[in-house]
Amino acid sequence: MKILFCSLSLLALPLYFAESTAQERYIEIVQRYGRAQFYLETAVLPTPSPDSMRLIAHMKISYDNAFFVKRQDGKFGAELNFTIEVLSRQVSVGRKVQRRVIVVDSFAATKDRLRFVEAAFDIPLKVGEYELLSEIYNDEIQKQIRLDRRRIAPKPRKPIMMSDVMMVYRPNTLNEDLRFKLLGASGNGIFGRDYVGLVEIISPQPIDVLAWELYEKTTQKEKLIEKKTIPKENLIAIKSLDVNESEQQTYTLSAQRLSQSVRYLAIIDFQAERLANMRFLLKLSAQAGKETYETSKDFENAWIDIPFALYDITLAIRLMEYILQPEALNEMQSGSVEEQRRKFLEYWKKRDPTPETEYNELMAEYYRRVDYAFFNFYTARDFGWRTDRGKTYILYGEPSSITREFPINRPTQEIWTYNEIKKRFIFADRNNNGNYERIAEETLP
């Protein structure tokens, strides 16, 4: 279904704010928060041997930071080496390298912040404290893209051994062969995504009780919001938990289900789609006979692809001029910042297509379109959201097709066709400066 925002005519939009101020604020936000996305997640897993452990490391980086070069066939490519090295007292005790080759068809694809290249590693280690070095290196341009150092300090071993909590997309657990894909947000959750917690447990005795508690975390306190026992179907006996280190990575982890084992996978389903964009604390406790073991995870339910305007409530409201009448916009802009925020959230909450979840798809889509207009339709004279193409994109979204015509003795034209809503918009570059003005709107048969 095509999402439309059509409260106002595109041709009769007054200016409600000082554009230069809004533009400067937008650029400031982009410069501050628009850096390339890099994620590194580590998790320590137990082994049956009390003096050993497994280290899982997962790295990914967005395309816009991969440094592509143009190839002879006209496409763009990047060759990256992902390296993980483990040091003990400055001495290397483990090192792995994985090579990834990416090829895209257009320059625009090289700037995509929402596509990632990733690598996963499985490194066996003796129990101890280590320093982990991770590096991403571009071979073609001989450039180090990312270097990260961090300490790994596993908890003391106990009869019931638990891995760190890993966040994975909701899996299908009905098959004998289980597949799991890490969220890949540096161990955090992702706001608006459907995910669960995954923990590997080694217990010589059958597990009697497995329970979790979830707390909201603020600067002042922790508030318990839910407490549950994990059902039997979410405690799965397995042969082993394996890491997919191949380049063709559609999943990160896999396991084979068994009828009985000392190894288990616990799936913690806290219904992530209901969680707000804030910090949480997850506690997990397992009891087997007289033995009890607890582990915890502090994580953020992070909105990793939040549209830029939503970092500033004043700017976000100003950019609603295309969907609000002047009186309604003036009313929303009145009052203190907190009052503006309340009215802003109330407006979008009433229009939330999934009110049972915290993520508002309609609001996110509107401001995603604003971002797209900002980056793709700016001209020397107008800001991206002020151009006719920018306004049309914000209100109607991505066209079904775009064609460009070069009539003789007439300006270049761009034609946007929307099949679903049966509309066609025609834009012309009258001054031959890249500023395409809308000259016609047609209704398709």
Taking the model in full, what pTM does it have?
Answer: 0.85
Residue whose tokens read 């082993």: 240
More confident of the two residues 419 and 10 = 419
pLDDT digits (tens, 9 = 90+) for 141-155: 889 999 999 998 877
17 — pLDDT class (breaks 50, 70, 90): very low
Q: In 10 A of CB 348, how many CB atoms?
A: 16
Tell me: pLDDT of 223 over 80: yes
Pick from 163, 128, 160: nearest CA to 297: 163
- 258 CB-near residues (< 8 Å, 6+ apart): 237, 238, 239
Range with lowest mean pLDDT among 27-36, 38-47, 372-381: 27-36
Tell me: pLDDT of 309 over 50: yes
Percent of the chain exceeding pLDDT 70 equals 95
- 435 CB-near residues (< 8 Å, 6+ apart): 379, 380, 381, 382, 387, 429
| pLDDT given at position 3 | 62
The residue type found at 65 is N
Tokens of 380: 């020397």
User: Do 130 and 151 meet the contact criterion of CB atoms below 8 Å apart?
Assistant: yes
Distance CA 318, CA 336 (A): 15
More confident of the two residues 12 and 339 = 339
pLDDT digits (tens, 9 = 90+) for 20-42: 577 788 888 888 887 668 999 99
User: Do 74 and 131 meet the contact criterion of CB atoms below 8 Å apart?
Assistant: no
| pLDDT given at position 249 | 77
End-to-end C-alpha distance for the chain, whole angstroms: 19
268 — pLDDT class (breaks 50, 70, 90): very high
Tell me: pLDDT of 410 over 70: yes
More confident of the two residues 90 and 36 = 90
Tokens of 200: 């590997």
Pick from 181, 169, 146: nearest CA to 58: 181
Tell me: pLDDT of 140 over 80: yes
Q: What are phi and psi of 178, to 5 degrees?
A: -100, 140
- Looking from the CA of 426 toward its CB, the CA atoms found within 13 Å total 12
Percent of the chain exceeding pLDDT 90 equals 71
Tell me: pLDDT of 267 over 60: yes
| pLDDT given at position 185 | 94
Please report, to the nearest 10 degrees, the dihedral formed by the alpha carbons of residues 51, 297, 287, 154 taken in order: 10
Tokens of 403: 């064609």
| pLDDT given at position 19 | 53
Distance CA 333, CA 341 (A): 9
User: Do 78 and 142 meet the contact criterion of CB atoms below 8 Å apart?
Assistant: no
- 393 CB-near residues (< 8 Å, 6+ apart): 369, 372, 373, 376, 377
Cα separations in angstroms, 62 against 59, 185, 245, 250:
11, 12, 19, 17
**Mean pLDDT across the stretch 266-277?**
95
Residue whose tokens read 């990312």: 146
Tell me: pLDDT of 10 over 50: no
User: Do 214 and 299 meet the contact criterion of CB atoms below 8 Å apart?
Assistant: no
| Concatenated DSSP letters of 297-351 | EEEEEE-TT--GGGG-HHHHHHTTTTTS-HHHHHHHH-S-HHHHHHHHHHHHHHT
User: Do 215 and 301 meet the contact criterion of CB atoms below 8 Å apart?
Assistant: no
| pLDDT given at position 111 | 85
Tell me: pLDDT of 387 over 80: yes
Tokens of 43: 């998790």
- Per DSSP, what are the bridge partners of residue 278? none
